Structure 1
């Protein structure tokens, strides 16, 4: 794996191949929602995508995606009739599970999204497996 570090360069490239600055063109809100749901953006936004997936804080952004996708379900369960304690526990479980799964799978999904947009993966599939 990558050791949990937020790397700004792609493996095998020099320091001149760092992630673009924050001045990269951002997609519109609808494009960002589409991207959040797993869609592929046009190549015009490659600099923004590269910064999102390789820049500082990439792991937190990747982990936030499942959490954000879990929010509508948490709201629905919070509004269902029943005891407040049961509803609160269900909502808490959904949000904690979403965050935990997000952090546990962030490296895998970052690689998948990098390849989806035509970038080389940050680490190979063999690095992602545990050696026994």
Structure 2
């Protein structure tokens, strides 16, 4: 990775962590699953969390979380008896709506997860009032 990819940190945090240090502090699979489900990781993974929530591709990673959480339900609906077209439509609806909701709410949930791990929010959450 280039240094430009890793220079994005949350709200002016110390940007001296290199890419190799971030890879060394990557949580184990169980920790990443816990993080995916909304859990708070220990402070030893702060650099990895900061890169995950502020590095390039953060919006795609945030949008993928609801799709991954919706996948078991899509499998269950795909295995239920019924017409193939109906089952395929339900599975497609679940996955597409999960992706849409993920992209629509990615900024809000990124700020929530940043605050959850002790970082300042990147974007101010504003009420969407059309006057």
- TM-score interval, smaller chain: 0.7 to 0.9
- Asked if residue 124 in structure 1 is aligned to residue 121 in structure 2, the reply is no
Q: After TM superposition, what 4+ stretches of structure 1 lie above 3 angstroms from structure 2?
A: 16-22
Distance 2:18 2:128 in 1: 34
Aligned length: 121
User: 1:9 touches 1:18 (CA, 8 Å); kept in 2?
Assistant: yes
The C-alpha deviation readout for 1:36-79, integer Å capped at 9, x for no partner, is 00000000000000000000000000000000000000000000
Partner residue, 1:37: 37
User: 1:19 touches 1:51 (CA, 8 Å); kept in 2?
Assistant: no
Structure 1 segment 1-132 matched on structure 2, within 5 A: 8-11=8-11, 13=12, 17-18=14-15, 20-23=17-20, 24=22, 25-126=25-126, 129-132=127-130
Gaps of at least 5 residues in structure 1 are 1-6
Instruction: Calculate the TM-score normalised by the size of structure 2.
Output: 0.85
Partner residue, 2:3: none
User: 2:9 touches 2:50 (CA, 8 Å); kept in 1?
Assistant: no
Partner SS, residue 125 of structure 1: coil
User: 1:10 touches 1:122 (CA, 8 Å); kept in 2?
Assistant: yes
Instruction: Calculate the TM-score normalised by the size of structure 1.
Output: 0.85
